Structure formats: C-alpha cells, structure tokens
Chains A and B, each alone.
Chain A
C-alpha cells in the first residue's frame, strides 16, 4: 500500500492548495467578475428558473471556473451553475 501511495498524487499538499487557489483567483482577475456581480446573476437565474421548477435557493452555487475550449486546448473561463431542483412545476409538464 505504501508503494501505491508513492504513485498517487496527494491533494492536500500545500502546492496543490496554492495552485487551486491561484486558478480561482486568476479566473476572477482576468474576467473582472466581482462577487457582487455573481450575486446579481444568481438572483436573476433564481427568478427565471422559479417559473418552471422549485429550486433550493440556498443550495444554488454559481461560480466562474476554467474549462478547455472545444476548438483548441486553450483555457477559457466558464460560468458554472449548480442548481438543486426540489420539484418540477406543472407548467413544464405538458
């Protein structure tokens, strides 16, 4: 098992923490997106989605992250929203 440990990447190493923190902070620096701006988007998403389904508003998580572009491998920022659905509203069932 010890040998296996040698081969596995440990995520709790401080350099990995540094890298993850940097990735996140740079995405925000580069896109110039403030937490306030994200809150505004979040509010609007809740408004739109609420017409169609009941969602867990407190559980909604929205963030800017980095993903690879489809055409080449250049990293591009992406808006990721994780919206927990409690139940669908009748409106959507037709």
Chain B
C-alpha cells in the first residue's frame, strides 16, 4: 500500500521544499522506497536541496507528455538506494500539467514506491490544484508568523474542500528563546488557532542552511536538532508514535508549575 502525501503551504518561503527533501530522505533512511516530486513547475528547487541538480536530463513535464518513459525521468539519489527525484520543468509553467495528468502520474508511481511526496507550489492557483490532485494526505507547513499562519488557515480550508481531510501541521522555524520570552507564538497557540493535528515542530537551526548549502538534507545529520526533529516527523509518517523532542517543547518550567498549581 503506497501513500501519496502533498506538502503544501499558503505563504512561500516557509520551508516546504526543505521539508519534502528531509521527509523523503528520512523515509529512505528507514528503508522505504520513496519518490519526491517537484510540482512547482517553472521554479525548480528540490533538486538543489537534495544535491541532484547536475543529474537532471528529463523532468516531470517530459514524463507527463511522454517525451520519456517514467523510469527515465526518475533521478536516483546519490546516497540512498530507495530515494528518487522527479524534478520540475524549468522552461514551462504551471499550465503544463493538468490535475488529471497528475492523478495518472501518481497512479503510476504507486506501483513503484511506498511513499510519493509531492512538493506543492505556494499559493492557491492552478499549481496547487495540480499538486493535490492525486494525493491521499496533506501536510501543511507554516512558520509562527501571522502572515504564514493566516495563509495556512486558508490552505487548510481549501484542502478540506477538495476532500483532503485532516491535513497535519508542521511548524517550522520555531525559536525557543523567542517563545520563552513570549515574543513568538508557541505550539499550543498555533494548534489552538488552526485546530488541526500536529505532525511536528522544527527548530530554527543554522544547520539547515549549512546542509542546504551542501545539498545534503539535515535529516542525515544526527547531531543537528533540526535533523532529529525531521527524523521524528518521518517516523510519525510511518505510523510510529514519537513524542515531541524535549527541546521542541516550549513550555518553560514556570508554565508547568503554573499548570500544576492553577490548572491553566
């Protein structure tokens, strides 16, 4: 049984592509067969985050238009056997693929992979409609900023309208120090506002930039906080119950004491 997961957000720049790269790599590290599909046609990104930019011959539009066979379009990861990339086309735009074609593509990919992770373009236009067309489940990525949360709420509404119920949330770039002094919304605040299930929290971590620079997803770095957080998310996707990292939990000791003493 394979699963098609679309990773989406309302606002751009919240970390969708990084999330897709890390979840994909994480699943491959767990021995799964996985393909990450870049559905952001015209703006190719996932290849550089994975460090596979110099291997691209064909892309997702070539596959859909049958310029090449599906297997020719798939780029194998340099490190993990089970991981493949289907890159976005750069010379085309979002109208190059239709939702029906996307559905057909995911149907074909299901035969080859356990997990198909789709990197959705930001926003609510046709690119979004295409990316979600063949998906079973959705992951919404947001950062703890008002603009990102507002757009995430809009996306959650649209996903539900399209039949993708119960999308799960990843809160990216949480800064523990800012949460602690009350200058950033905490996990509970965000869950309260968006009212969806939490899949995980990624701390704002310099190692993300370093790993993206190198084209090696941070999930492969076991010493990095963000790497551990992504591995936890990956495990949750496979159905394992993994508690939030203690450093991800933003509750200070005083909040805990207050909760015990005053019950709120």
Interface residues of A (CB under 8 A from B): 6-7, 10, 13-16, 18-19, 21-23, 25-26, 29-30, 74-75
Contact = CB atoms under 8 A, between A and B. Distances in A.
B189 A13 contact: no
| Chain B contact residues: helix, strand, loop or mixed | helix
B149 interface: yes
5 contacts: A7-B261, A15-B183, A29-B150, A29-B154, A30-B153
A19 B185 contact: yes
B161 to A, nearest CB: 12
Which 4 residue pairs spanning A and B have beta carbons closest together?
A13-B182, A14-B183, A15-B185, A19-B189
B55 to A, nearest CB: 42
Contact of A15 (B153, B184, B254, B262): B184
Given A14-B182, A19-B193, A7 B149 contact: no
Contacts of B150: 22, 25-26, 29
Contacts of A29: 150, 153-154
A13 to B, nearest CB: 3
Interface residues of B, number: 23
Given A7-B254, A75-B195, A26 B182 contact: no
B153 A26 contact: yes
B222 interface: no
A38 B262 CA distance: 39
A14 B181 CA distance: 9
Interface string B125-153: 00000000000000000000110011001
A52 B156 CA distance: 44
A25 B153 CA distance: 10
B193 A22 contact: yes
A15 B157 contact: no
